[in-house]
Chains A and B, each alone.
Chain A
Amino acid sequence: MPDRKIVIQKPALTPFNVVAGIIVAVGLIITVIRFTQGLRATTNLSDYNPWGIWIGFDLLVGVALAAGGYVTSAACYIFGLKRFHSAVRPAILTGFLGYALVVLALHYDVGRPWRLPYPFIVQQGTTSLLFEVAACVALYLTVLFIEFTPAALEWLGLKRARSIVAKLTLVLTIFGVVLSTLHQSSLGALFLIAPSKLHPLWYSPYLALYFFVSSIIAGLSMVIFEGSLAHKHFHDKMDAEHLREADGVALGFAKAASWVLAGYFIIKVIGIAQTNAWNYLGSGYGLWFLVEMLGFVLLPCYFYAIGAREKNLKIIRRTAAWTVLGIVVNRFNVGMIAFNYHLPSSERYFPHWMEIGISVFVVTIGILAYKFIVTHMPILYAHPDYDAH
């Protein structure tokens, strides 16, 4: 545990705090406009484009990048790779905050957010994929909250409650993997209902599989990316175990990510072969598809492999950031760019500045919450009064 007796007073008006403060202030103003004047005043959504960046970015990207929680806890507790133990709490925290922010963003996107619990209490809609997504996200957010509570309970000094929750770790991990498998794939399956709206290069009967496999890539990359940021900005909060294991986590996850990226590339090519969509590769959309496949799948696959082979952490960390960007590109493509591709440009969707403002606001809230929790709770160090669970 780091020596916390030395207290250094940092100035409150740092550039980070000023920028974050401005974003939060603007976000709160847009929030008032959104909930007093409705979606029309704050978004460019229409009947053609009912899902904008609040779904394409906040939900699809948010859920994918929050996959580090189930990937890391499965590696540690189910596959027994205990040397990744120090990465579990940061990954669970990122996952929990990611899903919490997804639900927060949904309140902006859904026309009548107070009806969000309706799938569970008014009509069951059990044949709907959206019901399955709603049920899994709600349950998984609960699971992540419980998985996160040991850190909060250690911070609060509630030893008895902490020991009870710690005993649930394996059960919660299994629940987490099952629920994640279900809803990560179902988010892709949502687009199966619109085969004529999604460009043939992105549409595939395997969309559910693509979303699930790419979520594993997102999870692995996000853990490396977040680990490198934590190493840079919260180095003083990390104990010896975290510092010692950090390189091993990055190397192991890079190797796994390289392997999964190779598999993902193959199943994407097989998807094109199955739908015989080769002739679209020569079009403008085809070139963009090739940019995604070669630049954001094959390239990081190669650099992860080189990084893991040469034990080069600099390459691995840069590749992780690039892969995270690739996940954003993929979800944007499926959710917005290749969706409604047949519409004239005048009917295509481009987000309103207030939509972008809310997305930036939501991400900023997440960063501030992460900073607060990491600064106060035992996330990057083991609390000396408790055994590892």
Chain B
Amino acid sequence: MENVIYTLHDFMLRTESLTYILIVAALCGFIFFWRFLSERDDGRDHLGADRPGGHHR
């Protein structure tokens, strides 16, 4: 892989491309992280308080 950066355009292309990939990966990852955080919260709202009419496992 060629690692030499000759121009500002090369630099911007590399850094911005990587940033866009990271952002998309992070947004997808957040969905799984949110599910991990919240999957045991049946009957509770997003910060852990009892929801009216909800049930607990």
Residues of A within 8 A of B (CB): 81, 83, 248, 251-252, 255-256, 258-259, 262, 266, 269-270, 273-276, 305, 308-310
In the bound complex, CA of A308 to CA of B23 (Å): 26
Q: Given A276-B11, A305-B33, do A248 and B48 touch, yes or no (CB 8 Å)?
A: yes
Chain B, 1-37, contact with A by CB distance < 8 Å: what is the 0/1 string? 0000100000100110011001100100010011011
Inter-chain contacts of B49 with A (CB < 8 A) = 81, 83, 248, 252
Q: Could you tell me the distance between the alpha carbons of A274 and B5 in the complex, rounded to whole angstroms?
A: 14
* Alpha-carbon separation in the docked complex, A334 to B18 (Å): 25
B14 and A276: CB pair below 8 A? yes
A322 to B20 Cα, complex, angstroms: 32
Contact partners of B34 in chain A: CB under 8 A:
259
A68 CA / B40 CA spacing, docked (Å): 27
Known contacts A252-B49, A262-B30; is-contact A273 B36 (Cβ 8 Å) = no
User: How distant is B8 from chain A, measured CB to nearest CB, in Å?
Assistant: 12
Q: Would you call A251 and B48 a contact (CB within 8 A)?
A: yes
In the complex, what's the smallest C-beta–C-beta distance from A187 to chain B, in angstroms?
A: 25
Interfacial chain A residues near B37, Cβ < 8 Å: 255, 258-259, 305, 308-309
Is the Cβ of B15 less than 8 Å from the Cβ of A274?
Answer: yes
Are A309 and B23 interface neighbours, CB within 8 A?
Answer: no
Instruction: Give B26-57 interface residues, CB cut-off 8 Å to A.
Output: 26, 30, 33-34, 36-37, 39-40, 46-49
Q: Which residues of A contact B26 (CB under 8 A)?
A: 266, 270
Interface residues of B (CB under 8 A from A): 5, 11, 14-15, 18-19, 22-23, 26, 30, 33-34, 36-37, 39-40, 46-49
Q: Would you give the shortest CB distance from A82 to chain B, in whole angstroms?
A: 10
Residues of B within 8 A of A252 (CB): 47-49
Q: Which residues of A contact B19 (CB under 8 A)?
A: 270, 273-274
> What separation, in Å, do the CA atoms of A71 and B33 have in the docked complex?
23
Number of A-B contacts (CB under 8 A): 49
Contact A255 B15 (CB under 8 A): no
Considering only CB atoms, which chain A residue lies closest to B19 in the complex?
Answer: A273
Taking a contact as CB atoms closer than 8 A, the residue among B5, B30, B48 that contacts A255 in the complex is B48
Given the contacts A269-B22, A270-B23, A256 and B15 also touching, CB distance less than 8 Å: no
Distance in Å: Cβ of B39 to nearest Cβ of chain A? 8
Residue of B nearest to A79 (CB): B47
Query: What does DSSP make chain B's interface, helix, strand, loop or mixed?
Result: helix
Identify which of B11, B15, B18, B40 contacts A309 (C-beta below 8 A): B40
A33 to B49, CA, bound (A): 53
Return the chain A residue nearest B33 by Cβ: A262
A262 to B31 Cα, complex, angstroms: 12
Given A83-B49, A275-B15, A305-B36: 12 more A-B contacts, CB < 8 Å: A81-B47, A252-B48, A259-B33, A259-B34, A259-B37, A262-B30, A266-B26, A269-B22, A270-B26, A276-B11, A308-B37, A309-B40
Are B22 and A270 in contact, with the CB atoms below 8 A? yes
Q: Closest residue of chain A to B46, judged by CB?
A: A255
Q: In the complex, how many angstroms separate the beta carbon of A227 from the nearest chain B beta carbon?
A: 15
Rounded to whole angstroms, the CA-CA distance of A269 and B11 in the bound complex is 17
Task: For the complex formed, measure the closest distance between the CB of A317 and the CB atoms of chain B, giving whole angstroms.
Answer: 15
Q: Is the CB of A273 within 8 A of B18?
A: yes
Cβ of B36 and Cβ of A309 under 8 Å apart? yes
**Please, how many angstroms separate the alpha-carbon atoms of A71 and B36 in the complex?**
24
| CB of B21, distance to nearest CB on chain A (Å) | 9
Note all chain B residues with C-beta closer than 8 A to A256: 47
CB distance from A211 to the nearest CB of B (A): 20
In the complex, the chain B residue whose C-beta lies closest to that of A84 is B47
Q: Can you give 26 contacting A-B residue pairs, CB < 8 Å? A: A81-B47, A83-B49, A248-B48, A248-B49, A251-B47, A251-B48, A252-B48, A255-B37, A259-B33, A259-B34, A259-B37, A262-B33, A266-B26, A269-B22, A270-B22, A270-B26, A273-B15, A273-B18, A274-B19, A276-B14, A276-B15, A305-B36, A309-B36, A309-B37, A309-B39, A309-B40
- Chain A residue nearest to B44 (CB atoms) is A251
Distance, CA A259 to CA B48, complexed state (A): 14
Chain A residues near B5: list those with CB within 8 A: 276
